[in-house]
């Protein structure tokens, strides 16, 4: 029983790697028409959810280095989708926020994505998908702890 458990959790880890690679390919393909990259899209998403945030805070949320985030922010600012704002808490670290155009763009991208996702995993019920989310969150917490913890 225990062996089966470990083997199933292992199967999850094997399945998610190609899923991540392929979903990045799909998102890249869909974003190309907008002149956006997957990294830029991830930054838009964090700002849509958190509201205005500093570059280091965005990096922490995405588990990515600050330098990469800064590059995405610069590219998004160039397209008029984000803008720098004064940070009331720290004069030297500005807040990055979505512009109205950025808010609208991300909402449209997300609607398109959800519409396409709705039609996937057709053989699975909503309950089964919800269970998968629960398991992935629990496993994700434990793996994250072990990745950062006992170095």
Select 36 or 95, whichever has its Cβ closest to a second copy. Answer: 36
Give the burial class of 111: count Cβ atoms within 10 A of its Cβ; 0-12 exposed, 13-18 middle, 19 or more buried: exposed
- The answer to whether residue 143 forms part of the interface with a second copy (CB under 8 A) is yes
Would you give the binding string for a second copy spanning residues 22-41, x where CB under 8 A is met?
Answer: xx-xx--x------------
Q: Measure the CA–CA gap between 90 and 54, rounded to whole angstroms.
A: 10
Q: Which of 86, 39, 34, 32 lies closest to 66, judged by CA? A: 39
Find the DSSP H helices in the chain.
2-32, 38-50, 55-62, 66-78, 100-118, 126-148
Residue 92 found at the interface with a second copy (CB under 8 A): no
User: How many positions of this chain bind a second copy (CB under 8 A)?
Assistant: 58
Residue whose CB is less far from a second copy, 94 or 139: 139
Minimum CB distance to a second copy, residue 78 (Å): 25
Residues at the interface with a second copy (CB under 8 A): 1-13, 15-23, 25-26, 29, 63, 113-118, 120-124, 126, 128-140, 142-144, 146-148, 151
């Amino acid at each position: 029983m225990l062996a089966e458990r470990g083997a199933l959790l292992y199967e999850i880890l094997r399945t998610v790697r190609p899923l991540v690679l392929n979903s990045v390919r799909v998102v890249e393909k869909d974003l190309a028409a907008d002149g956006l990259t997957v990294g830029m899209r991830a930054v838009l998403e964090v700002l849509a959810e958190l509201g205005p945030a500093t570059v280091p805070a965005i990096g922490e949320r995405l588990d990515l280095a600050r330098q990469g985030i800064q590059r995405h922010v610069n590219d998004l600012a160039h397209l008029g989708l984000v803008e720098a704002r004064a940070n009331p808490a720290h004069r030297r670290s500005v807040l990055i926020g979505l512009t109205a155009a950025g808010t609208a763009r991300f909402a449209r991208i997300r609607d398109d994505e959800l519409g396409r996702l709705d039609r996937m995993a057709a053989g699975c019920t909503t309950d089964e998908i919800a269970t998968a989310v629960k398991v992935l969150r629990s496993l994700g917490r434990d793996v994250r702890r072990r990745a950062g913890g006992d170095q």
